[in-house]
Amino acid sequence: MGRTAGLSPWTWVPTLYFAEGIPYFIVNVISVIMFKNMGMSNGDIAMYTGLLYLPWTVKPLWSPFVDIVRTKRWWVVVTQAVIAVSFALAAFSLPGLSPEETASGSTPVSLFVMTLVIFWVTAFASATHDIAADGYYMIALDGRQQSFFVGIRSTFYRCASIFGQGVLVVVAGLLETRLGDVPAAWRITLLLCALLFGAVALYHTFMLPRAESPAHSQSGTVRPASEILREFGRTFVTFFRKKHVWTAILFMLLYRLPEAFLVKMMNPFLLDPAEAGGLGLSTGNVGIVYGTVGVAALTLGGITGGIAASRWGLKKSLWPMAAAMTLPCFTFVYLSMAQPDNFLVINLSVFVEQFGYGFGFTAYMLYLIYFSQGEFKTAHYSLCTAFMALSMMLPGMVAGYLQEWLGYTGFFWMVILCCAATVAVTFIIKVEPDGHSAEQSS
């Protein structure tokens, strides 16, 4: 552990990956609830929060510069400080709205332009932090430590999900009830996030080991910028020369199509009153449904999927997991038609849907790993995850307008029809029975 300057990875791996998850969930999930509670329409919410996903889609384009400019440790600390400042600025950028305006459902987007711009900066800082944190993890730990802590980092990323989608939303809901002022409640919540990230940045300034030098590779040799950029270009060329690449891209873009539409409208559906077709839950109850029950189901589904895939292999897992990805979408058709007011029934429905998604998503991630194998497997995997982010961003941007046009029940039936895309791409992809990688064509 000489390269880690005597500091145990336990002192920084959990906090690093907890910090990686928080801004992602605030920008992509909590922002939906916040804007909904401040009166923005579903169409505008989906469009503008969908655009916030773009930095995670295009982050492979600037990842080489994180290698070239300064150290990954420097990037981690600086981006965390930027995120802390961004949360504080976002808090003060929220417009002061009356209860009538927040309840109208038609608050103009123009009032939130500054908040959206600040969230855009936060998203770019968070995506850059992801690049730096993952690279730092590989440099600061040896192979044995990396293997040991991979489960730890995943666990604390899940903890960030529970904290972001659960604890913070419940806090905002309690503040809304106590203060009777929605903008003030969210302003305080964002300031708490700013204080948290400021503390995290300060902690990592002293506790992250100095394990690298600028422009150094993992082996410790200096790599010129021209070499890094040239290799970066080669990764694109070799990626698009892989066999069945266009079929693979179709799979990456369409396998999650039902979920991409669904995920943007789940929270607005839970929050909207019954007369608008929703379930009329409070903000705090939404935090409980998705921040605790939903995350637990998603995690359990992922663990079950991992066990099943290890026994069956990718090829045999595809169809059961594709079915698990699609069939639970019927739970939202049921919820929109029955509009139950029983909190237990709502939680059970969400549990079934999220468990199915967690189980079905396993095949998707395994395929990305499978397709990335080869000379540039790390860079190719990064490109695969960019297509994954794009698959969620584009449908999500129009989900709100479709929901406003179709109503919640019609929208969820449309999601069911989109399951045909999942089935189709599962049918056409090529996976070798022995699990060999998709090699480059000659």
State the first-to-last Cα distance of the chain, in angstroms, to the nearest integer: 43
Position 1 confidence tier, pLDDT thresholds 50, 70, 90: very low
Write the pLDDT tens digit of every residue in 269-301.
999 999 999 999 999 999 888 888 888 888 888
Checking if the pLDDT of 215 tops 60, the result is: no
The pLDDT value recorded for residue 4 is 41
The pLDDT value recorded for residue 185 is 94
Candidate from 36-40, 207-211, 345-349 with smallest mean pLDDT: 207-211
pTM: 0.85
Please tell me which residue, 55 or 151, carries the higher pLDDT value: 55
Average pLDDT of the residues of the chain: 86
Q: Taking Cα atoms as reference points, which of 416, 312, 407, 292 lies closest to residue 354?
A: 292
The pLDDT value recorded for residue 317 is 83
Write the pLDDT tens digit of every residue in 141-164.
877 777 777 767 877 888 888 888
Checking if the pLDDT of 5 tops 70, the result is: no
Q: Taking Cα atoms as reference points, which of 212, 148, 209, 147 lies closest to residue 6?
A: 209
Assess contact for 28 and 164: CB atoms under 8 A.
no
Mean pLDDT is highest, among 317-326, 349-358, 408-417, for 408-417
Assess contact for 63 and 231: CB atoms under 8 A.
no
Write the pLDDT tens digit of every residue in 111-124.
999 999 999 999 99
Please tell me which residue, 65 or 416, carries the higher pLDDT value: 416
Distance CA 199, CA 91 (A): 17
Checking if the pLDDT of 65 tops 70, the result is: yes
Q: What mean pLDDT do residues 320-326 have?
A: 88
Please tell me which residue, 360 or 155, carries the higher pLDDT value: 360
The pLDDT value recorded for residue 192 is 95
Structure tokens at 351: 């549990």
Checking if the pLDDT of 221 tops 60, the result is: no
The pLDDT value recorded for residue 383 is 86
Write the pLDDT tens digit of every residue in 251-272.
999 999 999 999 899 999 999 9
Q: What mean pLDDT do residues 229-244 have?
A: 81
Write the pLDDT tens digit of every residue in 160-185.
888 888 899 999 999 999 998 999 99
Check residue 273 and give left, alpha or beta (phi > 0: left; psi -120 to 50: alpha): beta
Bridge partners (DSSP) of residue 237 are none
The pLDDT value recorded for residue 223 is 59
